[in-house]
Amino acid sequence: MAVFVALFLAVAGVAGALTATAESPEIALENPEIDAAQGDTIEAGGETFSVADISETEEGGGHGGAATTVVTGTLEREYTAETSETWANSSTVTVDDRQWRVEISGDDASEFTLVEVLDRQAILQADDAAENETVTLEDGEYVAVTDENGDRTLVPVDEYFPAPEERTHATGETLEYDGQTVTVDDVTTGGAVLVWETTETETVEVAQHSTVTLGDTDYVAHFPDASTLRMSSDIEAYEAQVTEIERFNQYSSGLSRVLVLSVLSSIMLAGMAFIPSRY
């Protein structure tokens, strides 16, 4: 029996030594196309990105459990995009903080006219001599005006209110609208199409060992520490490393089970040696 105890202890010793001395493989991207820190500018997938952020956070750890350190990053890219807006015929738009009515004439129109929409109520309220409401009679609409002698006179609205301003714009011309210069791209009987360029920002969130598509290229991302981002398009090499790590973990798990079973078997056999014999 002592021989079996010694054998199990020897097996346990070998398993323990192998477990203690084995070095776990780690992800290490070979010759990554991108090796950057926060604030760096990178070229990826034919586009230019900036590494806007690399941060480290703690996740989990509740109910006495161990917290996990998670590193993530953010890439940003600014690009120019064309924006368009259609002003429908007879619609009202705001230009220079004033209201205008869009007017388009003819079946083969190439221009449109902005006709100022007068704020009649504001004009009436600003005139102390005029009543705040117009007067409608059978022959038309009037503004009641009282002169300094107290005499009340009805003035036709076309004579009282100023002529609205008109602005005509043809295809290809530019105008100021909403704080930017826009171009009249097309005019039809239904409306006028305005186009302009805006600067947009594309944001890409990057997680540890995630696959990220930048432009037309797929990359695998790796954070070796909390300040460095590495990315490689050789995804097959990365997957081979993952397979190697999984194989190592299975190997280590098997050695651990052998170690535990060998120790338990040795203890059991040793204990059986002290059991009194009935014969």
Cα–Cα distance between 256 and 250 in angstroms, integer? 10
Q: Which residues of 38-68 are buried (b: 16+ CB within 10 A; e: fewer)?
A: beeebebbeeebbbeebeeeeeeeeeeeeee
Reply yes or no on whether the pLDDT at 102 is more than 90.
yes
The pLDDT, as a whole number, for residue 188 is 95
Cα–Cα distance between 143 and 164 in angstroms, integer? 17
pTM here is 0.60
The pLDDT, as a whole number, for residue 147 is 86
Mean local confidence (pLDDT), 155-161: 91
Mean local confidence (pLDDT), 65-88: 89
The pLDDT, as a whole number, for residue 125 is 92
Give 22-69 pLDDT, tens digit per residue: 455 566 677 888 899 999 999 988 899 999 999 988 776 555 556 788
Task: Name the band, by pLDDT with cuts 50, 70 and 90, for residue 198.
Answer: very high
| Sequence-ordered list of residues with C-beta below 8 angstroms from that of 54, at least 6 positions apart, any chain | 37, 38, 71, 72, 73, 74, 223, 226, 227, 228, 229
DSSP state of 130: B
Give 233-257 pLDDT, tens digit per residue: 887 777 766 666 566 456 455 445 5
Residues in the chain: 279
